[in-house]
């Protein structure tokens, strides 16, 4: 019997020869199944009423060596064996695709050729793509930790957008990570619990529900092996149209003829 190879692994047939340690992103084509799934989750998760839904420019699959994925699969198997989840046949580990916003200090993802991770230590995006998440780095950007020391994710893409930044690159585009997260049996809270370092006994994660201290949902895991980055979504608002282009468009409409540029 052939051994299982994760579809996000360097060793998977669809990825072989296309990726390596410095080039971990593979662009997805519009219309293919995975692109549609991620794009639908992103659009459905854009909840903030005062934030206009942006255009998606690209979606990349994040790949990594098989050895970096095995701890994730071991943890998933461990969670799957939990008696309280045994009856959940379709998705016993309660694995979910969730969004995470972070700082990008390079041009990764700006176009389909910009797929090489940078070496800047302050570029959290490339650090996550290269080495996945590290719970010890929780709060390195925001000191307030609503549910303690954990790795924060959300179904709400517009909430993840609040945490994106690109201080060293002038661009209209922004980037969020969509990760595979083993939620398992979640402990649900509506009030802050800033001293947590793990979920309560018998649970695998904490879900903050809107209503008292939160406006939008967030999911926190406290084990590095409970999460792996899966996709990078590149999005933003269309670049502003210059006055010249606006005038040309008006004149073309009036006279029904193209103008020489």
pLDDT in tens, 215-238: 999 999 999 999 999 999 999 986
Percent over 90 (pLDDT), the chain: 73
The mean pLDDT value of the chain amounts to 89
Q: pLDDT tier at 253 (50, 70, 90 boundaries)?
A: low
Residue 31 has pLDDT above 50, yes or no: yes
Q: pLDDT tier at 246 (50, 70, 90 boundaries)?
A: low
Q: pLDDT tier at 138 (50, 70, 90 boundaries)?
A: confident
pTM (two decimals): 0.88
Name every residue whose Cβ is closer than 8 Å to that of residue 148 and which is 6 or more positions away in sequence: 193, 194, 195, 196, 197, 220, 222
pLDDT score of 171 = 77
Q: pLDDT tier at 172 (50, 70, 90 boundaries)?
A: confident
**Region 206-214: what's the mean pLDDT?**
94
pLDDT score of 228 = 98
Instruction: Name the residue with higher pLDDT: 256 or 220.
Output: 220
Q: pLDDT tier at 5 (50, 70, 90 boundaries)?
A: confident
Residue 242 has pLDDT above 60, yes or no: no
């Amino acid at each position: 019997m052939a051994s299982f190879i994760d579809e996000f692994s360097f060793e998977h047939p669809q990825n072989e020869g296309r990726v390596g340690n410095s080039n971990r992103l593979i662009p997805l084509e519009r219309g293919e199944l995975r692109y549609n799934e991620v794009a639908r989750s992103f659009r459905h998760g854009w909840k903030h009423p005062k934030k206009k839904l942006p255009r998606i420019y690209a979606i990349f699959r994040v790949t990594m060596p098989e050895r970096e994925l095995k701890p994730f699969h071991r943890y998933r198997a461990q969670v799957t064996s939990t008696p309280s989840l045994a009856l959940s046949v379709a998705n016993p580990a309660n694995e979910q695709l969730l969004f995470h916003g972070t700082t990008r200090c390079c041009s990764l993802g700006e176009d389909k050729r910009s797929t090489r991770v940078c070496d800047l230590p302050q570029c959290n995006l490339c650090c996550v793509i290269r080495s996945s998440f590290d719970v010890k780095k929780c709060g390195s950007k925001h000191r307030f930790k609503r549910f303690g020391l954990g790795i924060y994710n959300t179904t709400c893409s517009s909430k993840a957008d609040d945490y994106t930044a690109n201080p060293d690159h002038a661009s209209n585009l922004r980037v969020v990570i969509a990760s595979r997260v083993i939620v398992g049996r979640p402990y649900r809270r509506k009030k802050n619990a800033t001293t947590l370092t793990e979920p309560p006994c018998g649970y695998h994660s904490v879900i903050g529900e809107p209503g008292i201290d939160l406006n939008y949902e967030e999911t926190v895991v406290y084990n590095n092996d409970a999460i792996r980055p899966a996709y990078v979504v590149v999005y933003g608002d269309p670049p502003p149209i210059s006055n010249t282009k606006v005038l040309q468009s008006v004149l073309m409409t009036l006279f029904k003829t193209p103008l020489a540029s």
